[in-house]
Structures are given as structure tokens and as C-alpha cells.
A and B are shown apart, each in its own frame.
Chain A
């Protein structure tokens, strides 16, 4: 089927309340309603989902891999942004 009749959709699954939706994969479907059904049939066969999102793949604005250096490398030298310089009192337990 041509891409026009059956465009690409990205599928996001939330496995239970309180968690965030996570990307699970992609599929082809004619429209939003059938994409949601296909997502249910493809990605939730073993009880994985409490909620589903489908998003037209074309609606996702992605960063340019060629710009990864500009975008992501500068953080590598800012180790002080990691919360590793604090002594956590034992009474606090898990933070």
C-alpha cells in the first residue's frame, strides 16, 4: 500500500498509572482510528498497556544528527550539573 494511503504512525504506551508514555514502535495505518486499533493489536497483546498514544510520524520534529555535536556535546564537560557533590544525610533515605 502506498505511503499516502497508509502513512507511518509512532506508538507510545503507558504501562500503568503514574508512569509516562514511552515509545514502543511504529506502524502503518490509514488514519488515526485505525492506527490506534493497530497499536492495540500489535503492541498490547501481553497486557503491556493501560493507555495508548499514536502520533503521525510526520508530526514529530526531530533533531538533526549532524547537529549532535553542537546540541549535546557541550554538556559533557559540565559534571557539576549532576547531583554528585552533595552528602545526603542517612536519615533522608532514598531521594
Chain B
């Protein structure tokens, strides 16, 4: 059992990192956090999926996202240059230090809720990573080359389920409609960029997420037409996830995800 309970050097046991964030570091952490938090949400289905086939599918999707998060955290560590690695970023930050979208931290709900959340995100992440393949930052472009193939499949799989649930039975349609009412307000945040990100996209380092909106809307329109869903028109669009202002759900997720690492800094398993 050697190695367990090694204490972190300095600070209290399991205390959060202190980070000096530049716009590029914040951008990379935001993309990593999206992938990690959504990947963790999907991993919560392990052992609970409604079908054996989907048990494996959900785990595959989760592993794709967690793999993307690891590459992005590794890059974040290189940008920061303070010796922090993927485990430090994932396990030793508090909720206000996470930059993920509010959408991806929303609870799984039922299978319709999970699949719709995944569809709404993948319809953005697929064109996002495809555009990032040719963006100015070489490391992000290399990560994008891997992520875009993964997200293209995520979009296909989630859209397949949205269509079949929406165009399925009365009950499956009802559940999907409830999920849409719940999740739709959180979609607007995907297309926002703060001043730091705007400067990065002006410089060609990253892309402007607002530019992806027409493509996202076209995907939504195509799939919703097949799923007999009506695109909601509400204007209420909460945001703040990118700035660390999260819903109450993220704290509970992080408590589960982080408690072992933060209770026993340096633990190996």
C-alpha cells in the first residue's frame, strides 16, 4: 500500500490549485472541462444503461471525451508551465475554477435527457473540432484531428437516438419533449466568447464559436424535423459556466469525482 496518503507538498490536504490564467489557458481548460464533465456524466450510466448495446456505446462515448480531456489538460499544463498535469487540473480545482458549459453538467435524467444533451453538444463539438483542425494553434489542431472523428460519430449516434425517440412511441416522444424544454436554454452559451477568447479568435489562434451557429442550427433543424420535435423559441439563455458560475449540479459531480484524489493527495491505484 506504499504511496497511499502521500501528502501534497505545501498547503492543506487536497486544497485547490492556484492558477494564473491567460486567455489561451482558459480556452484550453474550458474545452477540456466540457469533455471531462460530459464524459463523467456519461460514465454515471455504467451499469445502468437501458440496453446492453447502449451500455457499451455510452462507455465508448465517455472514454472518447475523457481522452480528449486528457490531451487538453496536458496542453494546459504546458501552457501554464508550472508543472501541473492532467490529474491536477481534473482533481484539484474547485467548481468556480471549472470553465465548462452549463449544458454538460446537467444531470443525466432519463435516457432521452442524456441523448438529447449529447446531441445538442455534439452538434456543436463536431463542427468546432473540424474547424479547429485548421486553426492557428498547432497543438489544438493536432488534438482536433483526433477529436473531430470521435465527435462525428457522437453526433451520428446521438442524432440516431433523438430521431428514434422523437418519432417512436407516445411515451418516448413525451420524454424527449420534456428533455428539450429542460436543456434548450443552456444551448446559447456554446456560442458565446469572452473578451479573451475574442482576441484569440481575432488572432486566428482559435475559432469564433458564434460562427458555428448557422451550421448547428441546420443540424438541429434536420434532426428535429425527422424527430417530430419543434425547436423552442424561448429567449432565456443562462450562461456563466465559462466564467466559473455553475449550477448546483457541478459541485455534487466534482465531489464524487474528486473526493478520493483530494482526500489522499498523491494516491496511486
CB <8 Å contact, A41 and B160: no
A55: Cβ under 8 A from any B Cβ: no
Query: Number of A residues whose C-beta is below 8 Å from B?
Result: 15
Stretch at the interface among A31-39, A58-66, A78-86: A31-39
Question: Across the interface, which residues of A come within 8 angstroms of B51, CB to CB?
Answer: 1, 6, 28
CB <8 Å contact, B53 and A38: yes
B60: Cβ under 8 A from any A Cβ: yes
The CA of A33 and the CA of B164, in the complex, are separated in Å by 11
The binding surface of chain B is classed by DSSP as helix
CB <8 Å contact, B164 and A30: yes
CB <8 Å contact, A37 and B57: yes
The CA of A27 and the CA of B156, in the complex, are separated in Å by 19
Which one of A31, A33, A42, A45 contacts B53 once the chains associate, using CB atoms below 8 Å?
A: A42
CB <8 Å contact, A27 and B53: yes
CB <8 Å contact, B57 and A41: yes
A13: Cβ under 8 A from any B Cβ: no
Q: Sort chain B's interface into a size bin.
A: 10 to 19
A29: Cβ under 8 A from any B Cβ: yes
Which one of B50, B52, B156 contacts A37 once the chains associate, using CB atoms below 8 Å?
A: B156
CB <8 Å contact, B160 and A34: yes
Which one of B50, B53, B161, B164 contacts A41 once the chains associate, using CB atoms below 8 Å?
A: B53
B120 to nearest A CB, angstroms? Answer: 19
CB <8 Å contact, A38 and B60: no
CB <8 Å contact, A37 and B157: yes
The CA of A26 and the CA of B6, in the complex, are separated in Å by 47
Interface string of B45-58 (1 = CB under 8 A from A): 00000111110110
CB <8 Å contact, A37 and B60: no
Contacting residues of chain B (190-236) with chain A, CB-CB under 8 angstroms: none
Question: Across the interface, which residues of B come within 8 angstroms of A45, CB to CB?
Answer: 56, 60
The CA of A38 and the CA of B156, in the complex, are separated in Å by 12
Which one of B54, B57, B160 contacts A33 once the chains associate, using CB atoms below 8 Å?
A: B160
Residue of B with least CB distance to A37 = B157
Residues on B close to A: CB < 8 A? Answer: 50-54, 56-57, 60, 153, 156-157, 160-161, 164
